[in-house]
Amino acid sequence: MEPAMVSALFRFHPVAMGSLPHQSARFNEGRPWRLFVAILSLLAVFCLAGCKGGEQGQPTLSEARKAFAAGHYSEAERLYEHYIQSRPQGKDRWEAWNRLLDMALSVRQDPNRATSILDAMYLEFGDQSSKAYELLTKLAEIYENMNQNTKALETWKKCLSLPVVDPSAAARIHYRIARNHQSMKAYALAAEELNICIRDAQSSDLEQRCRYTLAQNQIFMERYDEAEETLSAIMGNPEVDQERRALAAFLLADVFEDQERYSEAVSILESIRLSYPNPRVVDTRLKHLKRVSP
């Protein structure tokens, strides 16, 4: 019950105020105390009813969950938003925020709304390193999908400063930073990040991906000798799977063609006709090289 309601009841009831009119001794000996106890009981009932009414008037998280599970996304969104606004210290705020994020991405397919939600979540949970890493990673990936490479770069760099980021995670982040630099045609910056990735990669798969991407950037910068060395390292590594070696060989054929080393380009393409993912592409390239070669 609200404090004002309790005050009003005590203000207007003479028993509560201790100002009973003078009546018979029988009245004074018995009835006032019974009335006083009755009023206290009534107050307790009002208080209980008021508390329950307050709870019933507030949408609960369980209602939001039911609406979401039933596919009533507009209603679920409203209820989750209400929970966040009305429960600034609620223990399930992380869940509520994530549900809103899920709906922004999967239901609304609205990446701008998703980035706004992630920004708000980062403000609230950014002091928790593991959650901050999860939020910034999602935010950077959305920016990449939106081709907002500058914002993606800034976000990935924030990730690098988090205490939870170990060398393995840092190497993956350097790779993502490099890809954004490459998209922005900042090839030298991309190469710097990729060399860090190669140095720190904890898995052969990531290391070879970084090498392959490094070779692409070296070709863009017309550093053909460096690109040849990088690609040859991939092709000569027995731990690299056959398909990836074939991809490296196909890129090396580009290097040879740019240098007018046509016979070497033909030779290397013929060696991967059966292992390259799309043999028709190899055949087309071979026909082209045989036409342009002297």
Where helices occur in 126-186 by DSSP H, the ranges are 129-145, 149-160, 167-183
Number of structural domains (the chain) is 2
User: Which pLDDT score, from 0 to 100, does residue 59 have?
Assistant: 57
CA dihedral 170, 176, 182, 187 (to 10 degrees): 0
Residue 127 belongs to some domain of the structure: no
Whether residue 22 is contained in a domain is answered as: yes
Tokens of 98: 């994530």
- Residue range of the domain that includes 32: 1-57
Q: Is 271 among the domain residues?
A: yes
Provide the pLDDT for residue 58. Answer: 55
pLDDT tens column, 90-148: 999 999 999 999 999 999 999 999 999 999 999 999 999 999 999 999 999 999 999 99
In a domain, 148, yes or no: no
Nearest of 180, 215, 165 to residue 195 by alpha carbon: 215
Residue 191 lies in a domain: no
Residue 159 is assigned to a structural domain of this protein: no
Mean pLDDT over all residues of the chain? 84
Residue 21 forms part of a structural domain:
yes
Average pLDDT over residues 81-94: 95
Whether the per-residue pLDDT at 235 is higher than 90: the answer is yes
In a domain, 110, yes or no: no
Asked if residue 30 has pLDDT above 70, the reply is: no
Domain C-terminal end among 34, 57, 80: 57
Among 35, 57, 79, where does a domain finish? 57
Residue 294: pLDDT band (50, 70, 90) is: confident
The last residue of one of the domains, among 13, 37, 57, is 57
Helix (H, G, I), strand (E, B) or coil at 69: helix
Q: What are phi and psi of 72, to 5 degrees?
A: -90, 75
